[in-house]
Amino acid sequence: MQDGRYALPTNAVVNLPNGYKPSAKEEYMNPRHLEYFRRKLQRWREDLVEESKQTIENLRDEVRDVGDEAERATRETENSLELRTRDRYRKLISKIDKALKRIEEGRYGFCEETDEDIGLDRLDARPIATLCLDAQERWEHRQKQMGD
């Protein structure tokens, strides 16, 4: 525990009961909460890495000598979509890695802007969240005003 918050180093082992789900009745971001989210993030990361490997293999195995132009155009469109998806996964994996780092440092689950609790429900739905709901809404409002 540092600064009144728990940190969970990579080598720390926390046993979770089968079917464990964080509860608001427990202390917020206690070691069990952190372990639950660490496992969730690690599984998500592993799935994305595996899907990315599949994409690479699919592109490699694909026959480049395609018959007519219509079929070639279809293949190029499919390849472009695959590569965009892979790029999205790469960015998501980076965000997952940052969330795992925040778990190690004792900053996970707290808003980067206000330092308030992000909330268990929000983190369960979006475990890479870095902003509480109010701060996220303000950020989105600013983005709309700027035209992005």
Question: How much is the pTM?
Answer: 0.81
Helix (H/G/I), strand (E/B), else coil: 117: strand
Helix (H/G/I), strand (E/B), else coil: 60: helix
Q: pLDDT confidence of 125, banded at 50, 70, 90?
A: very high
Q: pLDDT confidence of 2, banded at 50, 70, 90?
A: low
The answer on pLDDT for 92 being more than 70 is yes
- Report how far Cα 3 is from the mean position of its chain's Cα atoms: 25
pLDDT, average across residues 93-118: 95
Helix (H/G/I), strand (E/B), else coil: 110: strand
The DSSP secondary-structure symbol of 30 reads -
The helix (run of H) or strand (run of E) holding residue 46 is: helix 31-61
Q: What is the pLDDT of residue 63?
A: 55
Q: What is the pLDDT of residue 54?
A: 80
Q: pLDDT confidence of 70, banded at 50, 70, 90?
A: confident
